[in-house]
Structure 1
Amino acid sequence: MMTTTTKSGFSVGNAVDWDLAATVGGKLARQEPKTTDYTRTQAIDQLAESARASEVPVREVTGLIEGGEIPEARIVNRPDWIRAAAQSMRAMTGGGGDGARGRVPVVAGRVAGLQTGAVLAFVSSGILGQYDPFSAGGGELLLVYPNVIAVERQLRVVPKDFRMWVCLHEVTHRVQFRANPWLADHMSSALAVLTDDAGDDLPKMVGRLADYVRDRQVVVRNGEPEMGSTGVLGLLRAVQSEPQRAALDQLLVLGTLLEGHAEHVMDAVGPAVVPSVATIRNRFDQRRKRKQPPLQRLLRALLGVDAKMSQYTLGKAFVDEVVGKVGMERFNTIWTDTETLPLPREIDEPQQWIDRVL
């Protein structure tokens, strides 16, 4: 696996005290929903079984990974997920090198650790599951059972069905990465460019930011300045070099493809294995669209949560159209290498991808 090091050889991951991030994140995580021991045990057991049971139908629908061992999922609570996420981010960003760590002031590393821990704590209450291709074991599926319980209660859906439905999506991510190991390296390579600012001096970054702010007006709705996901991404681009902008586009497009493909597979497999799939899909989509309080909207925008929501919609529309026109077998050409991944403009115009690649 590639790690994100700057041109000078410095590892970005060493700028963060990851142990502190995991500790702080665990302490700041929201209280988990109250459950009986029976409900907790049942949820853990059903999620583990659903993760195993999802693998075969997902492989059949996607045509990815024929045969092979079905790995076990790890069922975790919020602090467990935060610790796993911190470890993954450390590995993904090249953290842990003793030589580079000495070049980062201890106070700066701790401040970064505190900030990272706070972000992980906020995110931890919304994660249902996640496939981590950067874990020490070479890839691991995590399912956060307190969040699954919280959402199924909120949506008032059949728990067993909802747990299987969640697993269909997350197991699709596991299949994507296990069938195409190069995807993890592609992500790491793009992230390395994105975090490499060693060749960029501060005046240039400030100048680009000033140009961005000067050329745009602040949008105000209902007496509040609006900061949507597009605005945050625009602000991020304003302080990036051209290679960094290209790397960001690569990550956004890949994320859109992976999420859209998982959504497509979830709906394709769902009716056969989830009896109440129509009700779950309808209520879950309504939940995604519901209006958030102002502070939460701001945090979601800053953390890219809303951008991720749009990835589900855009990505699914792309996969639905391509598979509908050429079938899943020809669609799978998309997993060949970096050249066959969609370009940013092709996400909105799937026919352009078909014309270019197929």
Structure 2
Amino acid sequence: MNIFRSVRAVAGAEGDGDGTGSIDWAAVADAAKNATDPGPLDLTAEERDGYAADVRDARRRLREVGEVEFEVPATIEVQNRHHWIDANIRTFERVMRPVEMRGQVPLPGLTRVVNTGTMAFMLSFLGKNVLGQYDPLLLAEPPIEGEEAEHGLYFVHPNIVRVADMLDVDYPRFRRWIAFHEVSHAAEFGAAPWLSDHLERRMEDGLEGLAEGQFDRDAFKDLDTAMTAVEGYAELLMDRAFDDDYEDLREKLDEKRKSGGPVGTLVRRLLGLGLKRRQYERGAAFFEAVADERGVAAASAVWDGPENLPTDEELDNPWMWISRVDP
């Protein structure tokens, strides 16, 4: 980790070839990685087999419990923190491209430095804390004809080991729990081929408005509602499918998040991680109510089509959704 190099990378941020880009993505990657210890990735054969078995068993259990058909992504990577930063640079660059291409950039030199520093700080913070990730490749370039988009499934090994040690929980059991959560997201997108397109359209609407200096409240509200369903269903499916006790894992992880100190708490609020937690809790309460009343398979009907997504009002009144979708 080299903070001086990180600061130097941000200070020297440049734009695209014509000097107009509002974020220097090469400098973001350089600064974020210089501010982040990559962490060890010296996996034993037992650990490699463990990750593979966790993913394989999660797929089998989630199929059985949710009564959904899906495949895990072809790309499954056990990463260090720098690997995760590199993978997500590509994601954020895709997401921000509409704003960069169409947005008006006052004081372009200063704007590039500020934006580059902000993105580098965000990716460095997340790179030190993310445990696993399912990447549905939103806003990615269409695959070549005859090929399928290769969604990704990532596990940040140094963070999983560190957090298991901090929480004083069994590392293989904790690793397995994380695998079940991320494979739950793969189950959603695999069971709902339309979901990526649906989220992309709402993201594009919202980003287009931002690029024009406007805030499309409806687009972002729809996106929040859809993501609440995504996060909530994953929580339900993971909890019902996980083949071991997990309450202590959840309680200890929640306690860790709450006790992150004033700086960590502020950063999490700025990055919207509090919103993500609200999505988990609100979505999980909705799907727990549906599953308790009609079963997990009935809850899985949410992925039959975009018309089955709960509305914002239905998220707080599951019976409205049940009577509309499964009368």
Compute the TM-score of the two structures, normalised by the length of structure 2.
0.80
The aligned residue for residue 263 of structure 1 is: 235
8 Å contact from structure 1 (residues 51, 73) kept in 2: no
Q: Is this contact kept in 2: 1:256–1:311, CA < 8 A?
A: yes
User: Residues 59 and 72 of structure 2 are in contact (CA less than 8 Å); yes or no, is this contact kept in structure 1?
Assistant: no
Aligned to 1:25: 32
Amino acid at match of 2:131: L
Partner of 1:138: 150
SS of 1:195's equivalent in the other structure is helix
Which residue identity does 2:315 align to in structure 1? I
**Structure 2 partner of 1:281:** 250
Task: Give the Å deviation of 1:318.
Answer: 0.8
Q: CA distance change for structure 1 residues 294 and 284 in 2, over 3 Å: closer, same or farther?
A: closer
Letter in 2 for 1:58: L
Report the secondary structure of 2:208's partner residue: coil
Moved more, 18-27 or 313-322: 18-27
Q: Which amino acid aligns with 1:282?
A: E
| Offset at residue 300 of structure 1 (A) | 0.9
Whether the 8 Å contact between 2:286 and 2:318 is mirrored in structure 1 is yes
Q: What's the CA shift for 1:166?
A: 0.6
Partner of 2:183: 171
* Compared CA separation, residues 334 and 88, structure 1 to 2 (3 A): same
Question: What is the CA–CA distance in structure 2 between the aligned matches of 1:42 and 1:111, rounded to whole Å?
Answer: 44
Q: Report the alpha carbon displacement of residue 264 of structure 1 after superposing the two structures with TM.
A: 1.3
Query: Partner of 2:162 in structure 1?
Result: 150
Q: 2:300 aligns with which of 323, 332, 340?
A: 332
Distance 1:57 1:283 in 2: 24
2:95 is the alignment partner of 1:63: no
The corresponding residue for 2:85 is 82
Q: Distance in 2 between matches of 1:314 and 1:37?
A: 38
Assess, with a 3 A threshold, how the Cα gap between structure 1 residues 72 and 85 changes in structure 2: closer, same or farther. closer
Aligned residues: 295
Residue of structure 2 in register with 1:254 after alignment: 226
When residues 73 and 199 of structure 1 are mapped into structure 2, their CA distance, relative to the original with a 3 A threshold, is closer
Match of 1:181, as an amino acid?
Answer: P
CA deviation vs aligned residue, 1:164-213 (integer Å, no higher than 9, x gap): 11100000101211221221112211111222237855xxxxxxxxxxxx
User: What is the root-mean-square deviation of aligned Cα atoms in Å?
Assistant: 2.9
Deviation at 1:130, TM superposition (A): 0.7
Deviation at 1:279, TM superposition (A): 3.1
User: How far off is 1:356 after superposition?
Assistant: 2.8
Compute the displacement of 1:286 (Å).
3.1
Q: CA deviation at 1:312?
A: 1.6
Is 1:261–1:316's contact at 8 Å kept on the other side of the alignment? yes
- Counterpart of 2:263 in structure 1 is 295
Q: Are the counterparts in 2 of residues 81 and 144 from structure 1 also a CA contact under 8 Å?
A: yes
> C-alpha separation between the residues in 1 aligned to 2:41 and 2:302?
45
Q: Which runs of 4+ in 1 moved over 6 A?
A: none
By how many angstroms is 1:333 displaced? 2.2
Structure 1 residues 63-113: Cα deviation after superposition (integer angstroms, max 9, x where no partner):
2216x5763521111111111011012234447x9xx59x97576445423
1:315 aligns with 2:283: yes
TM-score of the aligned structures, taking structure 1 as reference length: 0.73
- SS of the equivalent of 1:166 reads helix
- The percent of aligned pairs where both chains have the same amino acid is 30
Retained in 1: the 8 A contact 2:289–2:318? yes
Segment of structure 1 superposing worse, 309-318 or 291-300: 291-300
SS in 1 for 2:314: helix
Tell me which amino acid in the other structure corresponds to 1:46.
G
1:129 counterpart = 2:111: no
Measured after TM superposition, the shift of residue 305 of structure 1 is: 0.8
1:245-299 CA distance string (max 9 Å, x none)? 11111222222212221111221122x3x3x4343233233334x3332222211
Structure 1 residue runs of 5 or longer lacking an equivalent are 1-13, 202-239
Tell me the CA shift for residue 131 of structure 1. Answer: 0.6
Letter in 1 for 2:176: M
The residue number in structure 1 matching 2:121 is 118
Classify 1:267/1:20 alpha carbon distance in 2 versus 1 (closer, same or farther; 3 Å): same
Give yes or no for contact 1:48–1:73 (8 Å, CA) kept in 2. Answer: no
- For residues 41 and 307 of structure 2, the distance between their equivalents in structure 1, rounded to whole angstroms, comes to 51
